[in-house]
Amino acid sequence: MPPVECLNWVKKEYIDKAPIWCSVDLRDGNQSLIKPMSLDQKIEFFKLLVKIGFKEIEVGFPAASETEYEFLRALIDQELIPDDVTIQVLTQARPHIIKKTFQALEGCKKAVVHLYNSTSLAQRVQVFKKSKEEILQIAIDGAKLLVEYAKETKGNFQFEYSPESFTGTEMEYALEVCNAVIDVFKPTKENKLIINLPATVEMSLPHVYAQQVEYMSTHMKNREALIVSLHPHNDRGTAIADSELGLLAGANRIEGTLFGNGERTGNVDIITLALNMYTHGVDPLLDFSDIPQIIKLYESVTEMKVYDRQPYSGKFVFAAFSGSHQDAISKGMKYHKHDTSGIWNIPYLPIDPKDLNREYSADVIRINSQSGKGGICYILETNFGLDIPAKMRETVGYIVKDVSDKNHKELTPSDVQSIFVDNFVNLKTPLELNEYHFIRESDIFKVMLSINYNGNRIDHLAEGSGRLDAVSNALKQTLHLDYNLTNYFEHSLDSSSKAEAAAYVSIKLKDKEYWGCGIDDDIICASIHALVSAINNALK
């Protein structure tokens, strides 16, 4: 760990601008797949990365295999690389590999040639059995060869150097190696050298990695001609924190992959990192506005699966099953409709799911036995236009949750609607309404009512102060029921002139409340159906 010299970056609250992004999906990500991508799949993935907005894309290790070589040649020969995109290739500091790498780059308009050699104590002693001086010389010789081949090869080349296994390297030695390489490349402000500081293996808390980054960034030669890049892996599960603190500590470039694919526990997930910035109002300069389509292509070409709880991307990351969470979200969503501030600040939702092409009804409120009345009624409102009265919601919630509990499964919006209809809407047993006719005499309404009750037809004449009151009186007298009509609500189901209407009625019978709902294109009919449905629930 380097000495603590300056920790001003610790006081920063957020990253204020996007770094340079470099996707390494086609190299680091691809080499970690059980079944590496085919040439056609790589081309398809490359096009996706371009569409998302990556301006630097590492396309492979062309000297490693014929497939890698052919892919690079296909990109160049088929002119698939946009003018504003720079490809990157990886090479070890070995002469024959460097030579083949430049052969593969012949005719490429722009490319970053990424040179690396391992510098850690463990690698020096256990793998290479070489001294510090010998490892340093490998880096210097490799850099010299890159400069020589770049002069002989047609194209526009930028260089990158990685002290691979940087986090296991003594900082003073890592600095010595990088400065020696800087002396060879002689970068300028117009043609900067990328110094990449990889957390090849996470070996410390994130703030320690950030201090290492700061130490290097502060002490490397010719800093104004350098781009400090990070390549964090996720061995400790803190690659995002490594990246964010590393950017605050002086880095300005990130190498990573979509969904964090990569060796062992993977690379840093660029989607999470970018969208973390987005939630702070910073444009990440990458387009993740259609996450479902990105997932579809990614899973197709890699045969990997995006975890259900993957930040921002997973199937359930916006899902609220808890009743209290659902209630807060549904109230927050209603508030947001009328909020003119333009600021997204919904309880439990750090980002608007619609910004990622995710649907509220399908992704946010999920219904099971743990759900609450607020979430259940939110589903009914957003999907089917049913604005359930507040006093009715508890009754609806218990019935829906009971179905989920007994069947041990999550309910879809259609399931919730079916349960609501079956238990509340236009019910016809044991009481069925045949027909009714009204006569108005001054302020009194008379109704001739015809019903079927337990298989018997009954006709009855009654009166009331309104149509619904007249029907209610007729039913009380016919069925010998002593109930009170306690609540009545109504609303249109849409804004058209021929819209259906929904009415909600509750009655109180023997100190217990029963609810019914009526739906019809006539509000009077809807209210009568709601009353009959409430009575049917009481009679059951």
The 10s digit of each residue's pLDDT in 454-470 is 888 999 999 999 999 99
What CA–CA distances, in Å, run from 368 to 85, 407, 452? Answer: 47, 10, 37
Backbone φ and ψ for 94, nearest 5 degrees, come out as -130, 130
457 C-beta neighbours (distance < 10 Å), count: 10
From residue 50, alpha-carbon distances to 54, 57, 85, 168 in Å are 5, 8, 8, 34
The pLDDT value given to residue 259: 97
DSSP string, 388-435: --HHHHHHHHHHHHHHHHHHTS-B-HHHHHHHHHHHHBS--SSEEEEE
Comparing CA positions, the residue from 181, 180, 57 lying closest to residue 110 is 57
- Looking at residue 486, its pLDDT comes to 95
Where the chain has pLDDT below 70, the residues are 1-7, 360-365, 368-369, 495-498
Strand order from edge to edge, sheet including 512-520: 484-492, 501-509, 512-520
Three-state SS at 74: helix
Per-residue pLDDT at 11: 76
* pLDDT of res. 5: 57
On whether the CB atoms of residues 232 and 190 are closer than 8 A, the answer is no
Q: At what angle are helices 132-152 and 171-185 packed, to 10 degrees? A: 30
Helix/strand/coil percentages in the chain, nearest 5? 45, 20, 35
d(CA 248, CA 16) in angstroms, rounded, equals 9
Distance of CA 135 to the CA centre of its chain: 43
pLDDT at 56: 98
Q: What is the largest CA-CA distance in the chain?
A: 110
Cα–Cα dist 382/370, whole Å: 20
pLDDT digits (tens, 9 = 90+) for 303-342: 999 999 999 999 888 887 777 887 888 888 888 888 888 8
Predicted local distance difference test score (pLDDT) of residue 496:
55
pLDDT at 370: 74
The predicted structure's pLDDT at residue 494 = 74
Neighbours of 455 (CB within 10 A): 7
Please tell me the predicted confidence (pLDDT) of residue 382. 85
